[in-house]
Amino acid sequence: MPRRVPRTLLLVAALMFAVPVAQPLAAQQAPLMTDLMQDLAGVEKKFVELAKATPEDKLSWRPGAGVRSMGEVLLHVASDNYFIPSAFGHAIPSATGIKADDYKTLMAYEKRALSKAQVVAELEQSFAYMKDIMGKTTAASLTQPVSLFGMKSTGQGMWILAMTHVHEHLGQSIAYARMNGIVPPWSK
């Protein structure tokens, strides 16, 4: 006659095997974030290539009075790469001087007169920071309400806004570059 295994033992064994497979939803990486991170990597590559292809003297070029210069656009992207994750409660690195919900510190960050090498370094560091935060975003957090400058959204909506923002300014940077005779390296 076969030996009977106690139900308690069966239940414990089933739970031991089920726990690693059925992690809580909050601990799972969101598929949306995987896609957005791939997109961000492509945008980052283009921004860095374009910044490197821009002659130092063209960083101060602006299409008109009261409009951001090429360098300011690049630093604006970097500042928001730090700033947008603050909507999710992530601390902005103190070395940036940017404070959460403080527009003046954002403007001061992008108005700094930096060398081309410094602008490239700022871009690279800001994209690394943003990718790190995106990598920590869970599926459950995407449905949570977030607020930035009084704008209310969900986590998902805010990450989509972040991606829209970098794409918008990539297009602006391409237009600035072409107005100055700079061909984006990936389109040669």
d(Cα 33, Cα 39) in Å, to the nearest integer?
10
Tell me, yes or no, whether 15 lies in a domain.
no
pLDDT attached to residue 168: 97
- The answer to whether residue 7 is domain-embedded is no
- The β-bridge relationship of strands 151-154 and 145-148 is antiparallel
Is 24 contained in some domain?
A: no
Closest CA to 32 of 116, 114, 118, 143: 143
Q: What is the pLDDT of residue 19?
A: 45
Q: Which residues are registered as beta bridge partners of 138?
A: 29
Residue 122 backbone dihedrals phi, psi, to 5 degrees:
-60, -45
Residues contacting 185, CB < 8 A, separation 6+: 49, 50, 52, 53
Domain of 75, in residue numbers: 29-187
Contact 148, 158 (CB under 8 A): yes
In the prediction, which pLDDT does 31 show? 85
**Whole-number Å distance between alpha carbons of 151 and 170:** 23
Q: How far is CA 109 from CA 67, 150, 158, 183, in A?
A: 16, 21, 22, 27
Q: Does some domain include residue 86?
A: yes
Task: Check residue 57 and give its pLDDT.
Answer: 96
Q: What is the CATH number of the domain that holds 176?
A: 1.20.120.450
Q: Please indicate, yes or no, if residue 13 is contained in any of the structural domains.
A: no
Sign of CA pseudo-dihedral 106, 36, 172, 165: negative
In tens digits, the chain (188 residues) has pLDDT values of: 556 656 654 444 444 444 444 444 444 667 889 999 999 999 999 999 999 999 999 999 999 999 999 999 999 999 999 999 988 888 999 999 998 878 899 899 999 999 999 999 999 999 999 999 999 998 989 999 998 878 899 999 999 999 999 999 999 999 999 999 999 999 98
Which residues are within 8 A (CB) of 25 and not within 5 positions of it... i.e. 6 or more apart?
Answer: 138, 139, 140
Number of domains in the chain: 1
- The C-alpha R_g of the chain, in whole angstroms, comes to 22
The predicted pLDDT at position 22 comes to: 44
> For residues 41 and 33, what is the distance between their CA atoms, to the nearest angstrom?
12
pLDDT of residue 181: 97
pLDDT at position 5, please? 56
Task: With respect to residue 151, please indicate whether it lies within any of the assigned structural domains.
Answer: yes
The answer to whether residue 73 sits within a structural domain is yes
